Structure 1
Amino acid sequence: MDWGKGIVIVIAVFVMLMAGLVTICVKQDDIHLVTQNYYEEEIKYQDQIDKIVNANTLDYEVLTYNTQVKRVVMNLPLGSKGTLHLFRPSDARLDKKIEFQLINLDENTVDVSSLKSGYWKVKLTWEENGIAYYEEKKINI
Structure 2
Amino acid sequence: MKINWGTGIVLAFIGFISFIMYFIVTMNVSKDFEHELVTEDYYGVELAYQNDIDKLNNANTLSENISFTKNKEGLLISFPKDLDFKKITGKVTLYRPSNMKLDFEEPIALKDSKMFIVNDRLIDGRWNLRIDWNYNGTDYLFKEGVHF
- Which interval holds the TM-score relative to the shorter structure? 0.7 to 0.9
TM-score between the two structures when normalised by the length of structure 2? 0.81
2:36 maps to what in 1?
A: 32
Unmatched tracts of structure 2, length 5 or more:
none
> Aligned equivalents of 2:49 and 2:117: distance in 1?
27
Q: Sequence identity, in percent? A: 26
1:56 matched to which residue of 2? 60
Unaligned runs of 5+ in 1: none
Q: Which moved more, 1:86-95 or 1:71-80?
A: 71-80
Given candidates 2, 5, 9, the residue that maps to 1:3 is: 5
TM-score by length of 1: 0.85
Q: Which residue of 1 aligns with 2:133?
A: 126
Give aligned pairs, total: 140
Aligned runs of 1:99-110 on 2, under 5 Å?
Answer: 99-102=107-110, 104-105=111-112, 108-110=115-117
Q: What RMSD, in angstroms, separates the aligned Cα atoms of the two structures?
A: 2.1
Deviation at residue 7 of structure 1 after TM alignment: 3.1
Q: State the AA in 1 paired with 2:7.
A: K
Distance 1:4 1:118 in 2: 51
Q: Which digits, 9 at most, give the CA deviation of each residue in 1:53-107, with x for residues without a partner?
A: 11111112313113254322232522211110011122211111112343x3287
Distance in 2 between the 1:11 and 1:62 partners?
57
State the alpha-carbon separation in 1 of the partners of residues 121 and 44 from structure 2.
32
- Secondary structure of the residue that 2:123 maps to in structure 1? coil
Determine whether 1:140 maps to 2:144. Answer: no
Quick one: distance in 1 between partners of 2:109 and 2:61? 22
